Structures are given as structure tokens and as C-alpha cells.
Amino acid sequence: MIILMHPEATPVEIDNVIATVEARGWQTHCSSKSGQMVIGLQGEGQPIDPFHLGQMPGVLETMDISQKYKLGSRDFRPEDTTFTIGDVTIGSKQLAIIAGPCSVESREQLLETAHAVKEAGATFLRGGAFKPRSSPYSFQGLGEAGLKLLAEAREATGLPVVTEVMSPDRVPLVSIYADVLQIGARNMQNFDLLNAVGRSHKPVLLKRGMSATVEDLMMAAEYILAHGNSRIMLCERGIRTFDQKYTRNTFDVMAIPMLQEITHLPIIADPSHGIGVRRHVGAISLAAVAAGADGLIIEAHPNPDRALSDGDQSLTLEQFQTLMKQIKIVAETIGRSC
């Protein structure tokens, strides 16, 4: 059960409600939503009469939510969550197009890419400064120097920056430079990190783990929401299945309409990681848009074959430009724009 307090509820009223439910054996979990206190019940207490609770001073509404995730569900918030970053309203008719290199490698590489994707129609710049790599011997990113280059590219192009943060203690640093904090697939259940970005005031791009169910993804988002940060983009980026001969992952296109049904949060598709094969990124981008995605995150690089990471799945800048034209046409067909 979740208890929504009046925006004007007093601290004493809130404390009374908490004391009442705790007296029946429940633990409580408080967060605020647009200035309202939300009290979530957890654990295994005795049954509580919602009518009685609804009569207590300061209580606006009680909700009986049976799903494991609460704040992220359509039950809790039927209308779409939208939020504006730079010129783009995420979750609106306009698709968010996030493009850029896998890793920030150099000033030249980044600026050339940023200008090119901007011109082609991208509305965000992506680029990794801290890179999660399977091998300790692989390039691990430029660190803060990479963040500074991203900020410089934002200055030069006006594109807001999406970049990954890998540990809770780096959230303050990355937040100085980034417009959107990205949580990578391998960290989807790094709960201390989810708590840290939940407490920050930055929008979050949360990638689905490679073996996470749609429900697991919703539970991860719930950690962020429970700390009061609701500016979250969920990101489908391919799951791990038995078929890995030709592709790195299996892009779960079905997750897009499924998530849009169960949550109010916007959904971004990552075809680059979703399949890991450059020459089919275009087909999967169009499929994701046709399935209803609110945006795309695509890797592009001036010279993918010499990229320090993920070159196999990065588009050339020319390929990205061509793809953007196709995306616009398909988007308009279904009543969206980009």
C-alpha cells in the first residue's frame, strides 16, 4: 500500500500516519513526489483498513498496489512522464535522438562527431568517459578529461550530454559535466549506485541488464524513484540469449510496447548494443521507432574501424546521416517527429 499525503500536510500529521502503520507491524518508506510526501508500506504487518487511514488528517489518498514496483507503474501514475532537457521534451511526440561515440577518445574525434550528429538531427550527445570493460586490460576511458571534452562539445554544439557513471562516489563528479547520468547494463542492479543517482537531481538513462526481465528493470527504476528522482528514461539494449553466432545480443523489440503499457516512464532503444553489428543498426532503429520507442541512442564514430571500443557496432558519420533521414520518414508515418 502507498499513502499519498496532502501537499499541505504538516510534519505532525505525517508522523501520526507513520506511527499508526508502524504500530501494526509495517515498516515505512518515505519519498516526495512533486512536493507531496509518499509513504510506502513494506514488510509483513497486520492488515490495515484503507478507509480508516483515508480519514486521518493530512491523508489525500491511499493506493493498494499489488505489483512489486509501485512508483513506476501506470497504476500509480496513469499519464506519461515527460521532462525537458535542453530543447527536447522526453516522452513527447518528438523522438529523443542520442548519438555519439562509444568512448570519448580525443578532442578531435569528439568534436567532429558532435558537429556531425547535430547537423544530422541528433538532439543529445553520448560519449563514455568512464568505461565498464570486460577486461582490465582494455581501454578504460579518459576519466575526468573525457568529461571535460564532453562539456566542451556541449558548448560548441548546444547538445546536452549523456554519459555513464559507474560508482556512487563518482556521481558528484559526473554530475558537474553531464546533463543525463547513464547507468550501464552491468550496473542495473548496483543498488548503491541507483540510490546515489536517485538522490541526485540529474535525469537518468537506465539501461536494462543483459539478463534482466522487464520486471527487474522496473524494480531497478523503483530504487531511483523512491529517492524522489522521477526523470528516468528506461533503455532497451538487447538481452543475452542462446543465439550469439551472428549478433552480440538479442534486441527485445517487444519490451518497448510492453513497457509503455506498464509504466509512465519514457523508453529509449539502443540498437547499437542491442545487436552489436553495424550494418543492421539501421533496420533495428526503424523497427524500434515503428514499435513506439520514445527515442534512440546510437553509436557513431568518424572512423569506427579504429575506435578504441565498440567499433563493430558504431555507424560512420555518413551512415548516421543517412539513417536519420529514414528515421524521420518512419517517425512521421506514426505521428511522431525528430
- In the region spanning residues 207 to 246, those forming contacts with a second copy, defined by CB under 8 A, are 209-211, 213-216, 219, 222-223, 226, 239-246
Name the minimum Å distance from CB 293 to a second copy: 10
d(CA 146, CA 117): 18
In the list 190, 200, 230, 314, the residue contacting a second copy (rule: CB under 8 A) is 190
> Please, which of residues 72-131 interact with a second copy by CB under 8 A?
none
- Specify the residue, 51 or 137, whose C-beta has the smaller distance to a second copy: 137
DSSP string, 270-321: -HHHHH--GGGHHHHHHHHHHTT-SEEEEEB-SSGGG-SS-GGGPBPHHHHH
Torsion of CA 332, 254, 85, 185, to 10 degrees: -140
CB atoms closer than 10 angstroms to residue 128: 29
Pick the closer one to a second copy by CB: 108 or 215.
Answer: 215
54 near a second copy, rule: CB under 8 A: no
Q: Which of 181, 268, 284, 338 binds a second copy (CB under 8 A)?
A: 284
Pick the closer one to a second copy by CB: 125 or 289: 289
Q: What is the Cα–Cα distance from 61 to 74, expressed in whole angstroms?
A: 16
Binding-site size for a second copy (CB under 8 A) equals 76
Residue 141 to residue 138: CA distance in whole angstroms: 9
In whole angstroms, how close is the CB of 41 to a second copy at the nearest point?
8
Tell me whether residue 160 or residue 295 sits nearer to a second copy (CB atom).
Answer: 295
Longest dimension (CA), the chain: 66
Among 21, 153, 204, 289, binds a second copy (CB under 8 A): 289
Stretch that binds a second copy, among 17-25, 148-156, 167-175, 228-236 (CB under 8 A): 167-175
Nearer to a second copy, 159 or 291 (CB): 291
Q: Which of 45, 121, 292, 311 binds a second copy (CB under 8 A)?
A: 292
What DSSP state is assigned to residue 315?
A: B
Q: Among 149, 95, 83, 147, which residue's Cα sits nearest to residue 124?
A: 95
Binding to a second copy by residue 18, rule CB under 8 A?
no
- The answer to the question of residue 153 lying near a second copy (CB under 8 A) is no
Q: Which residue type, as a one-letter code, is found at position 97? A: I
The CA-based dihedral angle spanning residues 320, 323, 328, 333, taken in that order and rounded to the nearest 10 degrees:
-160
- Least Cβ distance, residue 209 to a second copy (angstroms): 8
The least distance separating a second copy from the CB of residue 115, rounded to whole angstroms, comes to 27
CB atoms within 10 A of CB 332: 11
Residue 202: CB atoms within 10 Å = 16
| Residue 33 touching a second copy (CB under 8 A) | no
137 binds a second copy (CB under 8 A): yes
Q: Sort 44 into a burial class: Cβ within 10 Å, 0-12 / 13-18 / 19+.
A: exposed
Sole window of 63-71, 152-160, 172-180, 314-322 interacting with a second copy (rule: CB under 8 A): 63-71
- What is the helix (H) or strand (E) element at residue 33, kind and residue range? strand 27-33
Distance CA 141, CA 147 (A): 10
Residue 64 binding a second copy, by CB under 8 A? no
Choose between 79 and 243: whose C-beta lies nearer to a second copy: 243
The 239-278 contact track toward a second copy, x by CB under 8 A, reads xxxxxxxxx--xxxxx-xxx--xx-----------xx-x-
